[in-house]
Structures are given as structure tokens and as C-alpha cells.
Amino acid sequence: MSTQPASPIHILPSSEAYAEQMEALMATVYRVNPRESEDTLTADHFRHHLKVFPEGQFIAVEAETNRVVGLTASMRTTFNPRRPRLEPWWYTIGYG
């Protein structure tokens, strides 16, 4: 067993500089090619999210390698349980 401590993970606001790494992480986690699947986010989607929802996006970056190892893709929305949204999520978010 290694006695070296793991590299610290930093939680940072997302930035365009990490968009490609964020896309690659999504592809790895969901085992899809983001350029061929409509079910995952691409670097362009992440860039768009940063413009529309800048305060809701975070990444986990391994300090030693500056590699994205986790991310959030979120937005705040009003939810009324008496009138749930019945539209597809992609429509709700304006297709990215």
C-alpha cells in the first residue's frame, strides 16, 4: 500500500478552460461519444451553461495534474408539484 497522500482535490467554479476536460469526463462516466449522443453534454454545452448559469457550475480538479475529476451541471428552476413539467428536459433548458 502506498504511503504517499493522494493529490488534493480543489472545488472550483467551472471555466471555459476546462470545457474539453468536462466533455471527456462525461464521455468516460457515461461510456458515450458526446459527438454522437444526444444524452450527454459537450464542451459547447458546458460553455453555454457558463454564460447562462455561471453561478451553478463547479468542477473538482486534481491539484497535481490540473485534471477534472468531477463536475456539476446544474441550474435552479421553480418546481410546482401540482403542475409538474411534462416537457423533455432538453426543451426545458433550451437544448443546452
Count of domains in the chain? 1
Q: Does residue 96 belong to any structural domain of this protein?
A: no
pLDDT at 1 over 60: no
In the predicted model, what is the mean pLDDT of residues 44-72? 90
Q: Does residue 80 belong to any structural domain of this protein?
A: no
Q: Which residue has the higher pLDDT, 58 or 84?
A: 58
Domain that holds residue 59: 9-75
**What digits encode the pLDDT tens for the residues 16-52?**
999 999 999 999 988 888 778 777 889 998 998 888 8
Q: Does residue 50 belong to any structural domain of this protein?
A: yes
Query: What pLDDT is attached to residue 96?
Result: 58
Q: Does residue 89 belong to any structural domain of this protein?
A: no
Q: Give the 3-state secondary structure of the chain.
A: CCCCCCCCEEEEECCHHHHHHHHHHHHHHHCCCCCCCCCCCCHHHHHHHHHHCHHHCEEEEECCCCEEEEECCCCCCCCCCCCCCCCCHHHHCCCC
In the predicted model, what is the mean pLDDT of residues 59-82? 88
